[in-house]
Amino acid sequence: MCSYLLINTDHEYSQLLADQANIIKIKPSPDQSYLFFQFDRKSSQHPWSTSKLIMIDLEKWEEIPIEVVNEPLMTLNTFQWPIHEIDWINDSEVTVTIPDIETATTEHLTEWYHSENKAKKTITVIPK
């Protein structure tokens, strides 16, 4: 568990990306204009990890708000959902695989975790 700070020495810019987390994946977009980070956090209160997804615009060197296509109220930039897989579809769209549950409540995640098939769904994330 570490703190992750993004530093751009050319522009004297820094930003705390995540605190008390583990970095799982860093991957640039196919055109190298964006970079996403996936962080995970494990809790002693439950057996699954929750994830946080951050997208950085490499030209502006700043975090870009992200939006889940067809589910605008879902947030992935907080440690709420377990994220199983992330990959770029194209230069600005990312697929994210999460548990196939309605909301990421402790009750729903516990039921999902103890289910036999652990169904997953894939959603699409875009920069806002």
Query: pLDDT digit string (tens) for 94-116?
Result: 999 999 999 999 999 999 999 99
Which whole number is the average pLDDT over 11-30? 87
pTM: 0.87
First to last CA, the chain: 29
Q: Find tokens 């589910």 and name the residue.
A: 71
| Half-sphere CA count of 3, side-chain side, radius 13 A | 6
Beta-bridge partners for 62: 57
Q: Are strands 66-68 and 13-28 parallel, antiparallel or unpaired?
A: unpaired
Q: From the CB of residue 80, how many other CB atoms can be counted at a distance below 10 Å?
A: 17
